[in-house]
Amino acid sequence: MTYRFPYNARILGTGSCLPEKVLTNQDLEKTLDTSDQWIRERTGIRERRIAAKGESSSTLGARAARQALSRAGVAVEEVELIIVCTSTPDVIYPSTACFVQRELGAANAAAFDISAVCSGFVFGLSIAEQYLKTGRYKTVLVIGAEVNSRLMDWTDRTTCILFGDGAGAVVLRREESEEPAGILSTHIFSDGNRADMLIVPGGIGKEPVSTQAVEDKLYTLKMDGQATFKVAVKRMVEASKEALACNGLTLEDLKVIVPHQANMRIIEAVADKLKVDISRTMVNLDRYGNTGGASIPIALNEAVENGMINPGDLVLLTVLGAGLTWGAGLIRW
């Protein structure tokens, strides 16, 4: 069903921030029973970025936000809402968004976090869309930021080879228009029955932090990779088709797909099932790995920077993450 709102929600500027430290597959060969060829053939990843001491989701997120604000020509005082999408918050509380707000000096904004892991940015975009299209806010900042390296078991080659750190951001503005533009629609979904497929089992709410839990590596990522692959392709394709159908558009109308950068095999399978040539799919997985909730905004920013996305283009975002969560977003640039 298509809903007509009083306003459009336009993306005015994008930005990203990647840590300087590069961890290559050759570096991992020194400590793991793996090889550059094995990693590239199974994932498409050659290297990833790793946060330095003192860097965090808030510091990376704030840098990405500054770039997005600068490109949008928007003063920080104009920002009314900051949504930070992260599964690696600086601390349990307060929210990472409040640290970002302080770093930016965005005194006029409300700020909060959401946690939908890799799907976080699309979920955050969906929240921003509602606030803007209904007229509640005029300017919203959505940030995806992760320091996944803090959650890795660096002895587990099935997980630590996949993930990297980084942040991406977009500035959205409410605009009056008779024709739909900007974010046409977002579609988000969850299936808690599959929560154990990707999980960091340690916590503070169910069980208190303990030395034993740390020794048992309960605060590192556990993943059923094979099962995740199968459901990722299915759900990302379903969500993508729903977004197009909701807006009376077809796959032929698409200019660019910006998928979650989890695994090259997943990206290729999604493109194949959508019958979209891989050349129309934004890929930077080889250089950054899976940056979780930062994945799509980093890739979106890069696609804008390199001229892959231009005004008027129809852009599809599609993702699956832990939860399970998944979704898609359709944007008329």
Place of tokens 């003192």: 54
Active-site pick, 25, 148, 263, 290: 290
Side chain identity at residue 294, one-letter code: A
Side chain identity at residue 22, one-letter code: V
User: Nearest CA to 17 among 54, 68, 88?
Assistant: 68
Q: Rounded to an integer, what distance in angstroms lies between the CA atom of residue 250 and that of residue 5?
A: 22
Active-site pick, 260, 263, 284, 301: 260
> Among positive and negative, which fits the CA dihedral 313, 10, 322, 15?
positive
Verify whether residue 247 is a known catalytic residue: no
DSSP 3-state assignment of 188?
Answer: strand
Q: Spell out the residues 6+ positions from residue 191 whose beta carbon is closer than 8 angstroms to its own.
A: 323, 324
- Phi, psi (deg, nearest 5) at residue 321: -145, 180
Q: Rounded to an integer, what distance in angstroms lies between the CA atom of residue 151 and that of residue 251?
A: 37
Active-site pick, 17, 85, 118, 160: 118
User: Nearest CA to 160 among 15, 283, 43, 259?
Assistant: 43
Nearest-Å Rg of the Cα atoms of the chain is 19
Verify whether residue 187 is a known catalytic residue: no
Active-site amino acid positions: 118, 260, 290
